[in-house]
Amino acid sequence: MYRVLTVASLLSLMAMVAVADDLPPAAGGAVPMSQVDRQSYTIGLSFGQQLKGDSIEINPDLLMKGLMDALKEAKPLLTEQQRRETLEALNRAMQAKAQAAAQEAAAKNAAEGRAFLAKNKAQPGVVTLPSGLQYKVLKSGTGRSPTVSDKVKVHYHGTLLDGTVFDSSVKRGEPISFGVTQVIKGWTEALQKMKVGDKWVLYIPSELAYGPRGTQGAIGPNATLVFEVELLGIE
């Protein structure tokens, strides 16, 4: 996924690189050993990796000249106004690219989610609710069901449709407690139907999860989510 490169982040990167000493490369391609050598190479490598990761087209010769001009405090080829306009144009282009990528991911995830849920509802044991939420009972408990005013204790394991794990109290080895209404809509609906001791698999359409915005982490826009949830208790 594209990251939006702001003017501030570009300037901060250049400032970070400018702290390195102006040293010649290690002879014969040897691994730099001194702290100054290592930090100089590491900063340069990190800068290059970010540029490549952000798909920024560059002229390597002019990139190096810009770095050297900054380090030597030489007169820049471009005026301050020209540099500001250049960075602003780059930022607009990166924002447009990021928006296009997000829209493409949203459409792809929405289509995959619809197809999955349409097929999944015919699977043995899967129940589809009017909201679109689907669930399958793995283990039945005998306790009471929580209400919207309750706080519950659960174990859960969350994955994307491709099996990618994005969060799991099971993997952390520690259950979590929260209010029934403090989670996504799909969870709130399911928890009120579960009994203490129940263990269900929830298949949550995006509109009952994180919707078109997704999260800052692994959950993309319009992603359908799968959770294995065990209701351990009501607090």
Tokens of 24: 């010649």
Task: Give me the catalytic one of 135, 156, 203, 234.
Answer: 156
Q: Is 230 strand, coil or helix?
A: strand
Residue type for 199, please?
K
**227 in catalytic set:** yes
Query: In whole angstroms, what is the distance from residue 87 CA to residue 102 CA?
Result: 22
Catalytic residue (choose from 135, 219, 227, 234): 227
Asked whether the beta carbons of 229 and 184 are under 8 A apart, the reply is no
Q: Do residues 49 and 3 touch, judged by C-beta distance below 8 A?
A: no
Catalytic residue among 2, 54, 56, 184: 184
Q: Is 210 a catalytic residue?
A: yes
Is 47 an active-site residue? no
Among this protein's residues, is 156 annotated catalytic?
yes
Catalytic residue (one of 167, 203, 219, 234): 167
Reading the block at residue 179, the tokens are 């209010």
Token pair listed for 124: 């043995």
203 is annotated as an active-site residue? no
Which listed residue (198, 204, 210, 234) is catalytic?
Answer: 210
Compute the distance between CA of residue 7 and CA of residue 23 in angstroms, rounded to an integer.
28
What is the distance between the alpha carbons of residues 209 and 190, in angstroms, rounded to a whole number?
A: 12
Q: Write down the residue that tokens 């349409």 correspond to.
A: 118
Element (H, E) at 176: strand 176-179
Q: Is 166 a catalytic residue?
A: yes
Point out the catalytic residue in the list 2, 41, 166, 178: 166
Residue positions counted in the chain: 235
List the catalytic residues. 156, 166-167, 184, 210, 227
